Structure 1
Amino acid sequence: MNWLKRLLRLEEPEPVEKPEPEPPVVEPCPICGLTPKLKHTCVTRNYPYYCLGEDTWSLLEWCDHGESILSFAPLFESDDVQKWNTACQRLKTTIDEPIPECPACGEKPVVQPDLESDIPQLVCSCNELLSNYEIANIYQRKGEWIYRCKALKRKQDNMKELKQLIGETQ
């Protein structure tokens, strides 16, 4: 009989409250250890023929290193929490990786102040790996040094293989 009353609008159904979803896990800052606070938001987007509600989590109260951390984030990630977690993991691997010596000259790099910016740079005597274009923080400088060392080492290994191939064919 209740369904008949509801059908006739004599009895309204009780509203059902939607429970707040479980908050996602947020990585702490790898530099200072602070964890950003979360805020649950529901974004409603109106499309031409339907309305779409999307539950998201926004990050609040970031630490002072937020800009440095987010420079390691993927460009096309739309979820704030996932972007933060990915950037923290990438920064941790860069911080934890030891600085290798230059494959060209075999020296460990020394830290020198950059004349163009206030960010210190890594320099060896041959300056083979030196490049400072668009590097915004010291963690990116270290990551760039490691990347260039690996690339130069790969190039040297490829040259050795090519010389061996040429030597074997003659």
Structure 2
Amino acid sequence: MTDEHCQTNLPNLFAIGDINGKQMLAHVAYREGEVAVNTILGEKDEMDESAVCAIAYTKPEAAFVGMSEEQAKASGVEVSVRKVSINFSGRHVAENGVTNGICKLLVDEKRGVIVGAAVLSVYASEYIYALALMIQNKIPVASILKTTFPHPTVCEIIRDALQSTNRPKSNSR
């Protein structure tokens, strides 16, 4: 076991990657390495596991970050589920045709922040990071919605999902 600095219970011994038994993902090991080195150098740094992306490189890709509905419920966090079909994105449909896919966001209504996300889509791995950034930094939904999303992009689906809990299941624009 390691602490938030990737340090074991033994002085000057750090464990990163698969050996620490936490999340066996290459990108987690990379970040843990940075945290361990920074700690050794006396710089303040901590491993934040609240927004680690998990990705299945399938067709379409499945990407997840933050809490699931079950985890939120178990933690006592009341969330609203906001989701839209990936086909609501004109760019996605133009490049891929109508496909199965979804953007699902869990919003902690009390704090006004996203606490979890799941995306099933072509290249979901490319924009799940934006959601991780929003979750880890607890960026208020109100601030996210005041951001100008570039158009046409598939990541606009994040804004579309946040704007409504009951969007149409297909592109109705």
Per the normalisation by structure 2, the TM-score is 0.26
Per the normalisation by structure 1, the TM-score is 0.26
Taking CA–CA contacts closer than 8 Å with sequence separation of 6 or more, which of the two structures ends up with the larger relative contact order? 2
The structure with the largest alpha-carbon Rg is 1
